[in-house]
Amino acid sequence: MKLLFSRRRHIGSWLIRMITWSEYSHVDLVLDDNLLIGAIAGDGVVLGKINDRLAKSSKAVMMHIPVKELDVSEAFAIGQLGKQYDWLGVIGIGLKRNWQEDDKWSCAELVASILAAGGQRPFDSKYHHRITPQHLLSLNFEKLKVK
């Protein structure tokens, strides 16, 4: 499975990076060479084009993470399309919302749950009340700079 981490020259992106101590403010699941699924503030979980995301990005990196059941992960991701954005998870970072509830998602919550659906559980959810792009980026998997 491939993940695309990105950041923009935008105050929201900067704030997320500062609050989470991350080089990147956003993460998407890459479905194929052209499409991705991600949770976008204001839009919720949407299908998008990689080229559109990269055009808006000031910096981006791709990460490959092996999953046992890629088809299950992708089916789970597609099933999340249209769900709301998790503002509480982003705004209330100090609050202990269960990020695995599937009623709404931030970008990192969505991607972590997609990984779990495919059998890759890199986090002990008992200790993570929030998941950020930095948590995912810190996993020890191959990264490739794309912008």
Domain count, the chain: 1
How many angstroms separate the CA atoms of 19 and 50, rounded? 26
Burial 11-38 (b: 16+ CB within 10 A, else e): eebeebbeebebebbbbbbbbeeeebbb
Return per-residue pLDDT of the chain as tens, 147 residues: 999 999 999 998 998 888 888 899 999 999 988 999 999 988 999 999 999 999 999 999 999 999 999 999 999 999 999 999 987 766 555 555 555 666 889 999 899 999 999 988 877 655 566 788 988 998 889 899 998
Q: Determine contact, residues 91/71, Cβ cutoff 8 Å.
A: no
**Enclosing domain of residue 49:** 2-145
Asked if 54 contacts 34 with a C-beta cutoff of 8 angstroms, the reply is no
Residue 22: which CATH number?
3.90.1720.10
